[in-house]
Every structure is written in structure tokens, then in C-alpha cells.
Structure 1
Amino acid sequence: MATSQWWQKAVIYQIYPKSFNDSNGDGIGDLPGITAKLDYLKELGIDAIWISPIYTSPQVDSGYDISDYRVIDPRFGTNADLYHLIDEAHARGIKVIMDLVANHTSDQHVWFQQSRQSRDNYFSDFYIWRDPQPDGSAPSNWGSYFGGSAWEYEPLRQQYYLHYFAKEQPDLNWENPLVRTAVYDLMRFWKAHGVDGWRMDVISGISKFTDFPDYPTPNGEQFVVGDLHANGPRLHEFLQEMNREVLAPFDMMSVGEAPGSTARNARQFVDQTRQELNMVFTFDHMDIDADPMAPFPQKFHSLAFDLVKLKQSLSEWQNSLFNHGWNTLYFENHDQPRVISRWGNDGQYRYQSATAFATVLHGLQGTPYVFEGEEIGMTNAHNFTLADYNDIEVTNTAKMLGTTVMGLTATELLAAAQQISRDNARTPMQWDNSANAGFTTGQPWLKINSNFPTINVATDRQQTQSVFNYYQQLIALRHDAEWLTAGEYQLLLSNDPQLFAYTRTYAGQVWLIVANLSPEIVATTALQAVLGEQKITQLLLQNYPERQRLDAPLQPYEALIAKLG
């Protein structure tokens, strides 16, 4: 496929605004705080920022429950603050990507407040309503991603409404053309104010299997989340309409969060001939440590890191989308814990681990996404108690558990949360070693990671081994090297449990990306055997000094990018 779009050579930086930088001392990050750090982001070298939801919201699900799409939540500032941020970002050559949450709204949105009143007003069919079963129970056994039923009874209408997430997040009815028109109008509104593109929250869920058949329950489950929650029958029709109405006419970048998608069916989203989305976020590689046989809540029953599975997943997406679409590249975001704590080593080899995982990711074909703090090697918050968590997945599970339910004790839930909870990524950005990590002069909305005195932007940038500096080099390479954009991918040593090695080939030349993703010293004998007569002719990047050849063992979490000849 053509590789001439700006986002194909770009690196995009995700900002979780509550936790990025607080300018007014109220303990919550805000838009002026982001504007104040644009020079920092420019120096890092990123091309665009993706800002998680900043619209008016009751914050039941951290802003993903929107009550007014066109008004900035006062917690974050004003519309004028956002317009100023966009102008300042553009002045620095940085594009601005906003979050589009179009699968659901807040139950406080005026659309829902009207819809719940009756079955015959303008907004009645903006949401998905169904009658109770004869015994008064929910229309089906569909479950919510946050636990419990996906159906909530509304006495005013004497009907149930559907909510894939919290009961305060009713799902929109995309079968209603008025809903689609309203969504496209709000997208045009933000384009008129300078927004360059969209990250689309759970976009694969907007089309429903409207008969909502019961899922089978072989283990006696009361509520089930299954395959029918995503990729409904009209999904691609809706996305093609969105492309015609908004994305193509206004040249807006699009990346969709697509749970339930595979490397094969992702082509339906991103093949340029279909005119839908530019990219989708895959979950395949982020689920390699999920235990499919675990009891609910499965998320808190993690398996050990399996590098072979990670290589299989990432390679499948690389190979499937090559010349058929474009990949997103990420290990961290607002919904994922810190990768070096989850799969790497956030202690003795924190620098090496952070840069090794970055190397294997940024060497792939696709657009890399860097989550705030990833560029300095921030870690999970090992100092949290259950009472410290704000993440609704943890708090809801804690309420259901009491002390022991569903195979977890409170102690086990805490250990699991410290490993996998979304709050591990949402702890405030660690700017320096002053009070509250330089994030705020007030009381932070979420507890600060206790390691901020040693892990922070100011300290990292003074180190000989600087994660920030390494990311700068990776990003610069992404901008300059056409082989990173267009080169063919080939996995090496697919079954090696410690080495992630692959080549990128372009215009008759070959580059090697290799990382030892283990805390052990690993021989390179097998790698040399695969490469044969090919030797390193140029080292482009390495996280250990003084390596010029491949015949020496790889040190713990050692990584390099080299040209072969």
C-alpha cells in the first residue's frame, strides 16, 4: 500500500489529561497544563497528541461517560483553553487527535434524559430499549464488561436499556439515522475548531445483533460477555458512511479501538479500498497473559509472560496487514498497565527493559503510540492498597468480592490489581522529585507512585542511561528511515522464549531488530545460524554500549537495531 500519509511516519503521544499536568493546583490535570508542556513534547519529537476524553462528564468511567460532547468539562478548563492548545500545538507542528466515544453516552446526557421519559418523543429511539421478559427479568443474559447485567430497568418507560459498560453509560442506537447524524455533526464541530483526527472508543461495538440472543452458559454463568458484543451486522456500513460524511471530506485521521477483531478481519476496517478507518487498535497481543479458563473476573487472573505468544500475535498482524492496511503499535495506554512491570523488569533492569520493549515495538511497520510516562520508564504503582484505586474495574470487583467470591480473596485482588489494573497507567505524570512529583501543588486526584523521587522526567534526562533520550532516537529514526515505513517484515527464531528478533527488508537492503526480553544472558548462536553470512555493517541504535558484532551473548534486556550486509 502507499506510505505517503503523514500518520504513517508519525509517532503519536497519548495524554491522559487528569494525570498529565495540573496548572491550577486543584489536583486534576488540565488543558493549560498540557499547553505548558508542548515544548517538552516537541523536544521528544512526537508528531501528534491524542487527548483522552475532556468533554463534560460525571466521571463514572473517567470521562468515557460523556454528558455534552461540545463542551469541555470545567475540571479540564474551557473550550477557549482547548482552542488555544490546538493553536499552540499546530504552531509547533504537532497535530491534535481527540477521543470519539460514540458507542454510548452518560445517562446524564440530554439525549438519554429525554429518551427515558417516554416511548414516543424525538429522542425515544436514541438508545436501545427492550421490554422485560414475561417474568420481569432482563431481555437476555448479556453481561456488562464491568460486571453484572448489560441491561438496566427504567421505571419511567417500563423497559430495559442496554449498557455494555457501567449502567450510567447507556449504549446509543446506531440503527437510528438521527443518532448517526448527531455524531457526524459533533465531529464536524470539532474539525471546525482545528482537530486533526479521532481515536474512536470501542468502535467495533456500535452495530448490535439486535435480537440479543442468549449466550450459552455451560458453567452456569448468570451474565455473559461474548463474541456478539462486537462486530455487528451493520458495522462496516456505518463506518463507510462516517468516512463519506466526515473523515474523507475533512481529511481526518482515524484509529478505532476494535475489541473482538483479528488480524484477518481487521482488513475490513483498514484496507484503503474500503474507505473506513486508517488504523485499529488490536487487543490480541495485549491478551497473551489472559487466562481463558479463569473464573470471572478473568482480567485479574493473569498468566506468566509468554514471549512466543507475543511474537506470534504481533507477527500475524504484521503479515496480515502488509500491503492491505496499517498497524497500530503500542504496549501501553490508559487501559493497560506499564509494560515493564507487566512483562519486563522494573527494578534492576528498568532502563534496559523499557528501551528493549520500545525497540521491538518501534521497529515494526505501523504507527507507534507512546503513552505519557512511557518515555521515562514509569512503572506500575506497587504502593497502592485496594482503597487507593479509582479504576471502576477494581472497585466494582472489590464490591462483588467482599473477602472471597469468584475464586479471589481481597489479598489476591490487590496483587492482581498491582499487576494489571488500569490505574497503573493513570497515576500522575512524574515530572521531578519535588512534592507530588511536580504534577500539582494541590492534593492529587489519584495517589502518586512512590518511586517518583528517582523516576521522573528531570532525573531521567540527566542520566547517562536516559529512557527519554532513547525514545528521541527511536522517533528520529522513524521519521528518517523509509525502510521502517515500507520494509517487509520477517520473524526469526519464532519459538525462542527469550529473543525477539526480526528483519525489515527494503530496496534490497536488510535491517535487524533484536532484543533479549529476559533478565538472563542469552547466547546468539541460534541467531547467527539463521543470519548465515550476514554481519552487522552499521549499528543504528543500541541500549548497551560497545557492541559491534553478534558473536557475543546478549545481556539482560539488551536490544539493538543494525543494518546487515
Structure 2
Amino acid sequence: MKASHHWWQTDVVYQIYPRSFQDSNGDGIGDLPGIRQRLDYLQWLGIDAIWLSPIFPSPMADFGYDVANYVDVDPMFGTLAELDQLVSEAHQRGMRVLLDLVPNHSSDEHPWFVAARSSRDNPYRDWYIWRDPAPDGGPPNNWLSHFGGPAWSLDPTTGQYYLHLFDPKQADLNWRNPAVRQAIYDAMRFWFARGIDGFRIDVIWMLIKHPDLPDNPPDPQWKPGQPEQHRLLRRHDQHQPEVHAIIREMRMVADEYQDRVLIGEIYLPIDDLVAYYGENLDGVHLPFNFNLVTLGEWNAHAIRALVEHYERALPPGGWPNWVLGNHDQPRVASRLGQSMARLAQMLLLTLRGTPTLYYGDELGMEDVPIPSELVVDPQGIRTPGHGRDPERTPMQWDATPGAGFTTGTPWLPLAVDYPSRNVTRQQDDPQSMLALTHHLLELRRASAALNRGSYATVATSEPDLFAYLRQAGGEQVLVILNMGATPVTLDLSSVGPTGTIAASTGMQRTGHVTLDAVMLDAVEGLVIAIDED
């Protein structure tokens, strides 16, 4: 049966923020040799594929998301040869390696932009988006940067504004120019030829802008005191219909190579998100589904409705995926609390589709308060209180100084709880978040029903309960999540008469259960293997 599924459907993806995972040389910044040192841990944990946030040469204005060369490695992280070695050793362990492609914008220090801003008639001028000032001398339209302030900066040399939907040092590329598209596709081929298994593609839904660059309308939901960059609806600077033709071209490049994957970063409602699979499943293989990350109400009703909506909206043959955290969002344990984070981990690893884990979430790592003088994230600098440094702090490996991450001074402060919340300690604790994650990953890999089976909601009379059935062949696995603050006893005999507890988020529970009286503690989840008749 597994032969009918691609690896990216049955594997678990693990996001590594390279600056924060493992420092091998004591400079306080994680690097490629450090990641290679931790491959055994990732293999033990049960990870099948690692996705590396950007490692390309960069001035680091946005920590690698401002690319100055798409076909090399920044010396801060290592060398091209060291990346090749990492890929080789990962492949030897049966693990895949994905890179983070950043095609919407380049660094203003990229040779393309340096040439483009040198004169209006330079051959690279049309590689970026330039416009004359408005009649009052200001920006060409009212578009706002995601980091705060106008999305335009005036270039004094040529007297025109250039577009940057993020930092001024991240100039937006003009994807209506075929030469730009060819250059990025050639970069993709460079990495595919070196054995890279796929790309997570940054802000893919923003690649094409409205050709006339009209003003964006105001957002009627915005209120004073909220971040200024949210006061407009992004009607014209993202999610344009022409983007799908671009994505089809990217897919054609990936399809030149065997069994590669494209994962698109897309923050859109479900009904818009699913369009990125493509009309004939010729878009990205996995449009990232962040709806568990952005869900406003974390309760059984809201999550059940979300899962059912997503399952209905998927195009025929489209494969689902789920995400709980990443480098741009507060950590799940900080959003939900430790107990609910355990329940969320069970949800992530038992729903139908490909799960993506963010480094450290297997420990229940929490956001780390960053003193204002130590803030380095450009979004946090330009919009105080809304930075992303807190969820990017170093991985907590052990209780030694530097948390086992570095022998030097870490680039961001360590969490105060690292002596007690770390890999070494949690590996020895059968009740830890790490032990739970490890067990769920083992269970998922061994179970065809969890790994690639069907999904069906199971009705219950309890409003705080979310239950669903995963099935493949004759194997059935029941997942029950009690998101309420009180214990419950359920009659789920409609699913089957008996079963065996395979996992619990609470105290270790094992053994046979009769499904006409299943007991769950408050904020507890169970995975039950249904006995065959």
C-alpha cells in the first residue's frame, strides 16, 4: 500500500531554524556542522525530512530571508561542501532535506539589485518593481510593508521608488519578467542537482502583484492600537490570479527530477488556500495549512469545524497537511499552555495528512521574553512588541551552560527554564513532552491507518470532545481529545466493542478498554487501536 503514496505524504517534516539549532564552533550561531551532529537525535525522534530555514549568503537584515546569492551557502552556516555532507549523511539515514526558497524578494545587496538601481536603463532594472513618485512626491500607492511603514523606498540615484513588501533591504522581484523567473528556476535546478529533495517556498502567494498597483482598501476590522501594517486589506499586493501560472512553471521544474516536493507558504483562508494545489494538482504539492496556528478559539467545536471544512475543500487527490508552529508565530506551548500543547501534539500527529513540527516544540519550548536592547528581528524593531525573536531562541539540549547549543554567547537569550526543559532530561522522563512526541511518531510510522489512512469524524454528545477515526484496510484507530476542564466518560461503542490504548497525553495508560465506557481526564487525549472482529 505504501508504494501508492509519495514520501512527502507519509513522512514527518521538521523545521530547523539553523541559527538556533546547534552551534559547532562557539560563535553563538547555529550552523550546518551542528545540524549534522544532531542527525542521530532527529532519527531517534522519528523525523523523516528536515526543512532548513534560509542558509544562502545574506547580509542578514531579515536573517537569511534577504538573499544575496541563491546558489551558495553563507559562511556563517558553513560551506557548500558541508551542506553536501549534511545531505549525504541525512540520506544515509533515510531522511530528506528541504531548503527554504525565497523568490519574492532579494537582498538590496544582491548583484541584480545593485545593477538595477545604478540607472533607469540598466538591463536589470525591470527585474524589480519601480515607479515614479506620486504627484506629492510620496510613495506611488498606499501599500504597507508587513514589517511596518510604507512598502516603498525612494532610490535617490534614479529618483524612483522600489517596492518591498517586507524590509527596505528586501526588494521585491518582478515576477512578470521572464528573465527573473528563469533565474529562480535555474537556482532550483542547481539545488535539485545537488540532491536537495524539495523546497519550502517563502510567501509564494505574494509573487505577483496587480499590474496597475492600485491602492489597497481599508480593513473595516482594524482598530487603533493594532499594528499599523494591518489597517489595509491586501487586495492587490498578494493572491493575484496570475500567480497560479507561475506556480505551474515551478512545478514543471520540480517534475524534471524524481520525487521532489514543493511546499508553499500561504497564509490564506481554506477556500483560497486549496486553489494552490492547482486545477489539475499541478501547483505546489503541499500548500502549507496554518489554520491550527491562526485559529482564534482553541476548542473542540472550532477544531472539528476546521478539520471538516478542510477535508471537504481539498480537491480530489489533494493531500492535506497540518502545522502547529513555525519561526514566525508564537510557540504552541505559549499560545495554549503546556497541557493543551500535549493535546495539540497528539492532534497534529494523528490527523490525516503530512505534519510539520517546529524545532523545540517536541520539548514544549515556550516563547522567551527578549529585552528591548536585545531585539534583533526587523519586524520587532519596526513594530515593538510584535517581533519574532521569542520563538527563535536556541534549542535546549541539556542543562550545561549554553544549554548544549553553544560554548559561546548565544545570538538570542536562552529560556530561563532550559536547565529543566531540555532533551537530555526529557529523554529520561517517560511523562515528558519529548517522550510523548517520540511515542506518537513511532506509533504513526507503524500504523497504516495513522500514516496514510482515511479520516472520519466520530459524533459525541460532549461539547468539549473531538473524536475521529483513522482507517486503512482492516486497521482502525480512534483518537479522542478532551479539551474540557472536567473528566468525561463516553459511549463510543458505535465504533467497535473494544480496543487497546496505544497512547495517552496524560498519565501513562495502557491496556484493553471497552468502548461503551471510555474515561478521559480533563485535557487528555487517547489513541485507541480498535480490536478487529
Contact 2:14 2:358 in 1 (8 A): yes
Q: Which residue of 2 aligns with 1:36?
A: 37
Tell me how far 1:341 sits from its aligned partner. 1.8
The question of 1:22 aligning with 2:29 is answered no
In 1, Cα distance between equivalents of 2:197 and 2:46:
18
Tell me how far 1:508 sits from its aligned partner. 6.0
Contact 1:199 1:256 in 2 (8 A): yes
Deviations 1:220-250 (A, max 9, x none): 9897351333221311111111222344445
Percent of residue pairs bearing the same amino acid type: 40
The question of 1:396 aligning with 2:415 is answered no
Q: Which residue of 1 aligns with 2:275?
A: 268
Within a 5 Å distance, the mapping from 1:68-217 to structure 2 comes to 68-217=69-218
Contact 1:65 1:105 in 2 (8 A): yes
- Could you say if the C-alpha distance between residues 158 and 245 of structure 1 is closer, same or farther in structure 2, counting changes exceeding 3 Å? same
Aligned-residue Cα RMSD (Å) equals 2.5
Q: Which residue of 2 aligns with 1:537?
A: 499
In 1, Cα distance between equivalents of 2:471 and 2:37:
41
Deviations 1:430-471 (A, max 9, x none): 000000111101010000001001000000001121322322
In 1, Cα distance between equivalents of 2:198 and 2:98:
5
The answer to which of 44-53 and 280-289 deviates more is: 280-289
Deviations 1:50-76 (A, max 9, x none): 000011111111211111112211111
In 1, Cα distance between equivalents of 2:316 and 2:458:
21
SS at match of 1:537: strand
**Counterpart amino acid of residue 265 in structure 2:** E
The answer to which of 545-554 and 130-139 deviates more is: 545-554
SS at match of 1:524: strand
In 1, Cα distance between equivalents of 2:279 and 2:89:
32
- Could you say if the C-alpha distance between residues 72 and 555 of structure 1 is closer, same or farther in structure 2, counting changes exceeding 3 Å? same
SS at match of 1:513: strand
SS at match of 2:280: helix
SS at match of 2:70: strand
The question of 1:313 aligning with 2:278 is answered no
Deviations 1:377-431 (A, max 9, x none): 21222x5333343333222112xxxxxxxxxxxxxx4xxx6xxx53232110000
Within a 5 Å distance, the mapping from 1:359-374 to structure 2 comes to 359-374=346-361
Contact 2:203 2:264 in 1 (8 A): yes
Contact 1:270 1:276 in 2 (8 A): yes
- Could you say if the C-alpha distance between residues 395 and 114 of structure 1 is closer, same or farther in structure 2, counting changes exceeding 3 Å? same
**Counterpart amino acid of residue 538 in structure 1:** T
**Counterpart amino acid of residue 361 in structure 1:** L
The question of 1:280 aligning with 2:250 is answered no
In 2, Cα distance between equivalents of 1:391 and 1:515:
36
Tell me how far 1:364 sits from its aligned partner. 1.1
Contact 2:98 2:200 in 1 (8 A): yes
Deviations 1:106-150 (A, max 9, x none): 111111111111222221100111111222121111111111111
Which residue among 402, 420, 435 is the counterpart of 1:436? Answer: 402
Tell me how far 1:82 sits from its aligned partner. 0.8
Q: Which residue of 1 aligns with 2:419?
A: 453
In 1, Cα distance between equivalents of 2:307 and 2:373:
36
In 2, Cα distance between equivalents of 1:199 and 1:557:
33
Contact 2:57 2:73 in 1 (8 A): yes
Deviations 1:33-59 (A, max 9, x none): 001111111111211110000111111
**Counterpart amino acid of residue 372 in structure 1:** Y
- Could you say if the C-alpha distance between residues 425 and 325 of structure 1 is closer, same or farther in structure 2, counting changes exceeding 3 Å? same
**Counterpart amino acid of residue 49 in structure 2:** A
The question of 1:66 aligning with 2:75 is answered no
Tell me how far 1:535 sits from its aligned partner. 3.6
**Counterpart amino acid of residue 446 in structure 1:** L
In 1, Cα distance between equivalents of 2:313 and 2:239:
19
Q: Which residue of 1 aligns with 2:453?
A: 487
SS at match of 1:463: coil
Which residue among 239, 248, 266 is the counterpart of 1:240? Answer: 248
The question of 1:546 aligning with 2:509 is answered yes
- Could you say if the C-alpha distance between residues 275 and 517 of structure 1 is closer, same or farther in structure 2, counting changes exceeding 3 Å? same
- Could you say if the C-alpha distance between residues 273 and 216 of structure 1 is closer, same or farther in structure 2, counting changes exceeding 3 Å? closer
Structure 2: runs of 5+ lacking an equivalent? none
Relative to the length of structure 1, the TM-score reads: 0.86
Tell me how far 1:367 sits from its aligned partner. 0.8
Which residue among 242, 255, 260 is the counterpart of 2:263? Answer: 255
**Counterpart amino acid of residue 123 in structure 1:** Y
Contact 1:208 1:233 in 2 (8 A): no
- Could you say if the C-alpha distance between residues 531 and 164 of structure 1 is closer, same or farther in structure 2, counting changes exceeding 3 Å? farther
In 2, Cα distance between equivalents of 1:114 and 1:215:
30
Contact 2:51 2:99 in 1 (8 A): yes
The question of 1:375 aligning with 2:362 is answered yes
Deviations 1:154-199 (A, max 9, x none): 1222111111111111111010000000001111111122211100
In 1, Cα distance between equivalents of 2:330 and 2:167:
21
Within a 5 Å distance, the mapping from 1:314-353 to structure 2 comes to 314-321=307-314, 323-343=316-336, 345-346=337-338, 349=339, 353=340
Contact 1:373 1:429 in 2 (8 A): yes
The answer to which of 123-132 and 476-485 deviates more is: 476-485
Q: Which residue of 1 aligns with 2:393?
A: 427
Q: Which residue of 2 aligns with 1:473?
A: 439
The answer to which of 100-109 and 495-504 deviates more is: 495-504
Tell me how far 1:542 sits from its aligned partner. 1.9
Structure 1: runs of 5+ lacking an equivalent? 290-303, 399-412
Contact 1:311 1:494 in 2 (8 A): no
Deviations 1:189-216 (A, max 9, x none): 1112221110000011111112121123
**Counterpart amino acid of residue 500 in structure 2:** Q
- Could you say if the C-alpha distance between residues 247 and 225 of structure 1 is closer, same or farther in structure 2, counting changes exceeding 3 Å? farther
In 2, Cα distance between equivalents of 1:204 and 1:516:
36
Q: Which residue of 1 aligns with 2:482?
A: 516
Tell me how far 1:325 sits from its aligned partner. 0.7
The answer to which of 180-189 and 326-335 deviates more is: 326-335
In 2, Cα distance between equivalents of 1:531 and 1:98:
46
- Could you say if the C-alpha distance between residues 232 and 466 of structure 1 is closer, same or farther in structure 2, counting changes exceeding 3 Å? same
- Count the aligned residue pairs: 519
In 1, Cα distance between equivalents of 2:470 and 2:312:
12
Contact 2:189 2:253 in 1 (8 A): no
**Counterpart amino acid of residue 431 in structure 2:** Q
- Could you say if the C-alpha distance between residues 531 and 231 of structure 1 is closer, same or farther in structure 2, counting changes exceeding 3 Å? farther
Deviations 1:302-339 (A, max 9, x none): xx645533332233223322743112221011112221
